[in-house]
């Protein structure tokens, strides 16, 4: 089972690393293949691997309330 997730969302130039065990989210400076994938993302592409749900919401409050912005 994955213990970390790399996140990139439209309008946010950088990537983020969410460490599920530590309960932290930190900026990530991509290198290698990850930098290549990030370049494709910046050009409008989408890259998804081993994630079965991903939803960007307008705030943590929205997520905690159980709503999904649509």
pLDDT in tens, 19-47: 999 999 999 999 999 999 999 998 999 98
Structure confidence at residue 70 (pLDDT)? 59
Q: Is the pLDDT of residue 67 over 90?
A: no
- Compute how many other C-beta atoms are within 10 angstroms of the C-beta atom of residue 38: 21
C-beta separation of 11 from 58 below 8 A: no
Q: Is the pLDDT of residue 2 over 80?
A: no
For residues 22 and 18, what is the distance between their CA atoms, to the nearest angstrom?
Answer: 9
The mean of the pLDDT values for the chain is 90
For residues 14 and 27, what is the distance between their CA atoms, to the nearest angstrom?
Answer: 7
Q: Is the pLDDT of residue 68 over 80?
A: no
Higher pLDDT, 61 or 67: 61
């Amino acid at each position: 089972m994955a213990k970390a997730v790399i996140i990139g969302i439209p309008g946010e130039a950088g990537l983020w690393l969410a460490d599920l065990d530590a309960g932290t989210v930190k900026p990530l400076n991509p290198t290698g293949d990850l930098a290549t994938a990030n370049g494709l993302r910046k050009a409008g592409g989408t890259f998804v691997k081993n994630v079965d749900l991903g939803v960007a919401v307008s705030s943590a409050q929205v997520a905690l309330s159980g709503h999904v912005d649509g």
